[in-house]
Amino acid sequence: MAKIIPTLNSTRKEKITYAAAALFRQNGYRATSMREIAEALGVEAPSLYNHISSKQEMLEAICFRVGDSFLSNFDRIEKDGSSFIKKVETIIRFHIRIMIEDYDMMYVAEHDWRYLPEPHHEEFGRMRKRYRAKFSGLLAEGMKGKKIIPLDPNVAVLTVLSAVNGVDSWHRSGKKIDAASLEENIVALLLRGLAS
């Protein structure tokens, strides 16, 4: 499986951002120093500033690339002409795949977006809200058409969305199952839980 979030290009700036994402994911944004990022790339910390302008800028790049990817993917699926339940399935599969393939960036966007400096923090919060509202609207529609059991659509969305974060534990503890089976198992549990 290929990465979902596009690698814009292979500039030095991109490479620094990827190295930063890996370290932010392992140790947390606040606990990762510019010196550690530099060391991972084999240079001294001040050299990084020839390519990036601040630590915060890298966090912004990571978060918004993930956020944009989610939103544009949702819009694409919404218009793809497939059946209602198939749309929900495709969206869930997209979440799982991004957790598997773009784990570092996804993890950082999910856990460290609160450290975004202020105009961006609020903007990212709005993006998340917008995404959940779209998803919740789709589920509410399915409930009206009796394709989904009657639940509070907001609760259903937050449950499904965080269920998928279970892939975290899969990454960390041995990967005793292959990625495709992992996806099938999660999809089976969630779709069965939702479907009427």
Partner DNA sequence: CCTACCGATCGGTAGG
Under the rule (CB under 8 A), what is the footprint of its own copies?
27-28, 30-31, 111, 114-115, 129, 132, 149, 151-152, 154-156, 158-170, 173, 176-177, 181-182, 185-186, 188-194
Beta bridge partners of 148: 195
Least distance CB 110 / DNA (angstroms): 20
Task: Decide whether 13 or 164 has the Cβ nearer to its own copies.
Answer: 164
Question: What is the footprint of DNA within residues 45-84 (CB under 7 A)?
Answer: 45-47, 49-50, 53-56
Coil vs helix vs strand at 172: helix
Task: Decide whether 15 or 144 has the Cβ nearer to DNA.
Answer: 15
Q: Does 43 bind DNA (CB under 7 A)?
A: yes
With CB under 7 A as the contact rule, the residue among 6, 26, 28, 35 that binds DNA is 35
Q: What is the DSSP string of 89-133?
A: HHHHHHHHHHHHHSHHHHHHHHHHGGGS-HHHHHHHHHHHHHHHH
Q: Does 27 bind DNA (CB under 7 A)?
A: no
Residue 190 binding partner per list DNA, its own copies, none, with a CB distance cut-off of 5 to 8 Å that depends on partner kind: its own copies
What is the phi/psi pair of residue 195, to 5°? Answer: -65, 145
Residue 194 binding partner per list its own copies, DNA, none, with a CB distance cut-off of 5 to 8 Å that depends on partner kind: its own copies
Size of the site for DNA (CB under 7 A): 19
Residue 35 binding partner per list its own copies, DNA, none, with a CB distance cut-off of 5 to 8 Å that depends on partner kind: DNA
Say how far apart CA 143 and CA 126 lie, in whole Å. 25
Task: Give yes or no for a contact between 71 and 131, defined as CB atoms under 8 angstroms apart.
Answer: yes
Say how far apart CA 103 and CA 107 lie, in whole Å. 6
